[in-house]
Amino acid sequence: MAFNKKYFIEHLSKYEDYYNPDKLMEKIKKYGRIAGIKVVYAVLILYYASMDKNIPTKDRLMIFAALGYFILPLDFIPDTLPLGFTDDMAALTFVLKTIWSNLTPNVFAKARKKLEEWFGPVTDEEIYIPGIS
C-alpha cells in the first residue's frame, strides 16, 4: 500500500483546532522522558517554527495540526502503551520533512537550547531524526 500524502494531510489537518501552546508544554512535561529526546526535539522544532513569521501559512497550519495531534490524549496508538509515541512521531516527522526547507538555524538553536534546559546536554546523534536531518 503506497503512502497517500493527500489523505494524510486531510486527516492530520482536523487536529489543528486542538493546538494550544499551554497544553503542548503540559504534555511535554508529563510525557517528555517517556516520549524520548527525538520526539521532544521534533515538537520543539515545530513549536518554534510556528512562531517564525517567515513560515508560510500553509506550513504553519500543518504544524498546528501535528502539534494538536501530539497534544490529544486519544491517539491512534495511546501514549501510555509501549511505542505509544510512534504515531505522534510519524505525524511530526511528516510535517518536519514537508517544511524542512523553510526552517531557519534560529529555530533549531531555540529548540536545542530548550531541550538541553530540560534534559541537559545532548549530542547530535541523540537528536538525529532519521529521514530528515
Taking only the tens place, the pLDDT of each residue in 60-102 is 999 998 898 888 766 555 555 445 566 788 889 999 999 999 9
pTM over 0.95: no
More confident residue, 46 or 12: 46
Concatenate the DSSP letters of all residues of 10-55 into one string: HHHHTTGGG--HHHHHHHHHHHHHHH-HHHHHHHHHHHHHHT-TTS
pLDDT for res 111: 96
pLDDT tens-digit series, residues 19-58: 788 888 887 777 676 568 888 899 999 999 999 998 999 9
